[in-house]
Amino acid sequence: MSKQVTRRPTKQDLRKERREEQIRREAERKRRQKRSRITIISTIVAVAVIAVGLTSFIVYNNTHGQSQNQTRPIVNPQYPPVDNVYCEQQEQLAFHIHAHLTLYINGQQSPLPAQIGIASDQSCLYWLHTHDTSGVIHMEAPIQSSFVLGNFLNEWSTEFNSLGYPSELDQTGWQAYVNGKPYTGDFHKIPLQA
């Protein structure tokens, strides 16, 4: 029977083993770095793709959303659409501008009431509404829209008459001014603009 003899490693052998171990560890470290970079880059690309997709979806819906002539859900049956102006659960921000209205009736300034266009139970608010008595009419619709004074007055007279709709507004013979200049024609057709 032969006896196996193991020889003791030389310094050269030990150096070689250490070098091989260092090379192996360095290769493993580089693989981990590469995996980490790939994970980070993949995450950044995924977030960018999601952001672009979400932005595209929002832009598309805002520009190709329902037109005012399409049927929208009625949030509160007590507040039906008036002139195709709907009462929505929350403010619409795709189209958001303000106009200012000052009313003079029989020579006296008549303040515009607060809360025209806002349901008394706060369940919805019309695309045309007031928050206070400053005379500012908020126009907030889901799409770019063209409103006229008549839209606002119809909403006020039909759904919010209890807020002091002046019956004089139903009469003819009014003199209207837009930006300080006399307006000729039916004042109900005055465009509401910012």
- Rounded to the nearest angstrom, the gap between the alpha carbon of residue 103 and the centroid of all alpha carbons in its chain is 31
pLDDT of res. 82: 95
3-state secondary structure 10-50: CHHHHHHHHHHHHHHHHHHHHHHHHHHHHHHHHHHHHHHHH
Do the strands 176-178 and 181-183 form a parallel or antiparallel pair, or are they unpaired? antiparallel
| pLDDT confidence tier of residue 156, bands split at 50, 70 and 90 | very high
pLDDT of res. 40: 92
- Chain segment 33-92, per-residue pLDDT in tens: 999 999 999 899 889 888 888 888 777 666 555 444 456 888 889 999 999 999 999 888
Please state the pTM of the whole predicted model.
0.63
Helix segments in the chain, DSSP class H:
11-64, 149-159
| Residue 80 φ then ψ, to 5° | -75, 165
Instruction: Judge whether residue 24 has pLDDT over 50.
Output: yes
pLDDT of res. 61: 65
Do the strands 147-148 and 191-192 form a parallel or antiparallel pair, or are they unpaired? antiparallel
pLDDT of res. 66: 47
Q: What percent of the chain has pLDDT over 70?
A: 92
Count of Cβ atoms closer than 10 Å to residue 165 Cβ: 18
- Chain segment 85-118, per-residue pLDDT in tens: 999 998 888 999 999 999 888 888 999 999 999 9
Angstrom distances, CA of residue 15 to CA of 25, 113, 139, 156, 178:
15, 91, 81, 93, 93
pLDDT of res. 88: 93
- Chain segment 121-130, per-residue pLDDT in tens: 999 999 999 9
